[in-house]
Structures are given as structure tokens and as C-alpha cells.
């Protein structure tokens, strides 16, 4: 995608290992910048868990973001899965997956990314 490096962060709403997530994100952002690419953090805009941690970190380090909030009112119970498909459809360069207790949403997103040929790195709690 040109000079951009899209980093998809997916994770459980209950993910609470801030250091793990921010270290992984920092490493990916630094690698992109070393290669002369502009990193963009793509996330699901959930107000808690992995999405919130990634969004706050990106804001604090002036890293561009592309939030994809799920439209629960319009799509009901499948909204999260639709959002995951939308995030994978932007063709991120890498997917960082932070899965706690086998989270079905984060696992679904990571699996979709793998099926699309996107490298996926997984962490679990």
C-alpha cells in the first residue's frame, strides 16, 4: 500500500497486558519506520481491552490510526465479525493478535487475516 505499513491490532476486550501489547506495537512501528514506511494502526475501536490500549499508545506516540468500530445497532450480534472482515479487507501488512481466554472475536479476525495471506503474530493470556 505505497509508503504505508498497516498494522492490524486485534484482541480481546479483556486483554490487560499493556506491556506485551505496547512492546509488540512499538517494535512493529520502529521496523516500519526503519524501512522508510509510515505506520498506521488499524483497530476495532473497542473502548476497552486490546483496541483501547493500541489506540492510546498510537495517540501518545503520534502514530496514525484507522479505527473500525463495530455497528452493533445496525448489525446486532454479527457486528464484530463484520468489522473484522472490514479490517482484513484493507489488506494490512501484518496482524498482531492478543487473545485472552480463546476470545472468539480476536481469534476470528486473526484467522481471517491468515486466510488472506497476512502474517499474523499471536499472543495469548
Question: Residue-wise pLDDT tens for the chain (125 aa)?
Answer: 469 999 999 999 999 999 999 999 999 999 999 999 999 999 999 999 999 999 999 999 999 999 999 999 999 999 999 999 999 999 999 999 999 999 999 999 999 999 999 999 999 99
The residue length of the chain stands at 125
> So what's the pLDDT on residue 94?
98
> So what's the pLDDT on residue 2?
65
Q: How far apart are CA 86 and CA 100, in angstroms?
A: 22
What proportions of the chain, in percent to the nearest 5, are helix, strand and coil? Answer: 45, 25, 30
Q: How far apart are CA 22 and CA 17, in angstroms?
A: 9
The x, y and z cell numbers of residue 76, run together, are: 446486532
> How many C-beta atoms lie closer than 10 Å to residue 60's C-beta?
9
CA 44 to chain centre: 7
**CA proximity to 28, closest of 51, 4, 52, 48:** 4
Amino acid at each position: 500500500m505505497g509508503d504505508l505499513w498497516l498494522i492490524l491490532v486485534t484482541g480481546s476486550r479483556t486483554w490487560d497486558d499493556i506491556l506485551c501489547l505496547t512492546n509488540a506495537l512499538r517494535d512493529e512501528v520502529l521496523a516500519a519506520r526503519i524501512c522508510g514506511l509510515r505506520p498506521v494502526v488499524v483497530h476495532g475501536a473497542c473502548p476497552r481491552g486490546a483496541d483501547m490500549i493500541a489506540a492510546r499508545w498510537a495517540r501518545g506516540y503520534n502514530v496514525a490510526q484507522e479505527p473500525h468500530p463495530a455497528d452493533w445497532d445496525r448489525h446486532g450480534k454479527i457486528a464484530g465479525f463484520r468489522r473484522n472482515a472490514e479490517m482484513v479487507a484493507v489488506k494490512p501488512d501484518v496482524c498482531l493478535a492478543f487473545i485472552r481466554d480463546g476470545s472468539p472475536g480476536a481469534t476470528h479476525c486473526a484467522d481471517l487475516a491468515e486466510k488472506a495471506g497476512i502474517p499474523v503474530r499471536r499472543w495469548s493470556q
